[in-house]
Amino acid sequence: MLRKMVLGAALALFGLSPAFAADKVTVLLDWFVNPDHAPILVADSIGAFKETGLEVEIVPPADPSMPPRLLAAGQADIALSYQPQLYLLAEENLPVVRVGTLIDKPLNTLAALEGKGIKSLKDFKGKKIGYSVSGVETATLTAMLKTAGVSIDDVTLINVNFQLVSALMSGQVDGVVGGFRNFEATEIREVGGKPLIFNVEDHGVPMYDELIVLARKDKANDPKIAKFLAALKKGTDYLLAHPDETWTAFAKTYPDLNNSLNKTAWKVTLPFFARDPRPLDAARYTAFAKFMLDSKLITKELPLADYATELK
């Protein structure tokens, strides 16, 4: 007992904390565990969180729409979400704020199959397009089609309930919006199709961050949030330096996900991860706020400080 007391006093003297005093951090993912979360999972597996004095619990949501709301209710310290959703949360006055970025480029696409009559965006006129979630996806599609002189009223929208690939492959629809270029495009190839991909940022949609890190507004400056982001950068650095080793560790930890789809997605996603999660591209965020306002998804201009910050 005395020995433990002496050790604790010595650690305190040097500004350190004994292992049992690590700060607990609960992280709510945006979806079930997948390669999009690789930097967080790698940071955990290499001990980067422990090195910064954190004990991190990673929790997949039962309902993907709930993480920001559970965060706002104090049920977690960090939640993952998407930049386009951030403005909807801000308009609702949900007390959450962007503090970091996990994926700093869009993954979203409009996809069709080669050889099925679609060669350019203008060819979607009179066609059926599947989607999973209205709102942002509809606004995205509207902006993309507009660049080719096609109105959203010129296409038939069909809610395919997240069955994007099967709806496209079966011919139920001629195209799908909302599929990710690292997953759905890969899955189409896996099942024998040749995807024709239109990237959203190349066709009328402002550049944005796909996956972001949220904290409560009143907790954004809590030191453990900065510690989490510092450890996340270490995880990203290690992941990018050791893609094969980290995939092997992921496949061993999550054997149900050890398949060719996830293995390919693991490598395809690497260029999309933010090298440093902390910097905030203010111009990018305000430009997308204007897109949301112009698309009538939000009803008023939102000051940047209302929904995003860069920790110092």
pLDDT digits (tens, 9 = 90+) for 17-67: 444 578 999 999 999 999 999 999 999 999 999 999 999 999 999 999 999
CA distance 212 to 97: 10
DSSP structure string for 60-92 = --SSTT-HHHHHHTTS-SEEEE-HHHHHHHHHT
Q: What is the pLDDT of residue 179?
A: 96
pLDDT digits (tens, 9 = 90+) for 91-111: 999 999 999 999 999 999 999
Domain range annotation of the chain:
2-105+209-306, 108-202
CATH of 108-202 given 3.40.50.12500, 3.40.1160.10, 3.40.190.10, 3.30.60.50: 3.40.190.10
Equal fold, 2-105+209-306 vs 108-202: yes
* pLDDT mean by block of 10 residues, the chain; 312 residues: 32 39 94 97 98 98 95 98 98 97 98 97 98 94 98 98 96 97 97 97 98 98 98 98 98 98 98 98 98 97 96 86
Q: What is the pTM of this model?
A: 0.91
CATH number of 2-105+209-306: 3.40.190.10
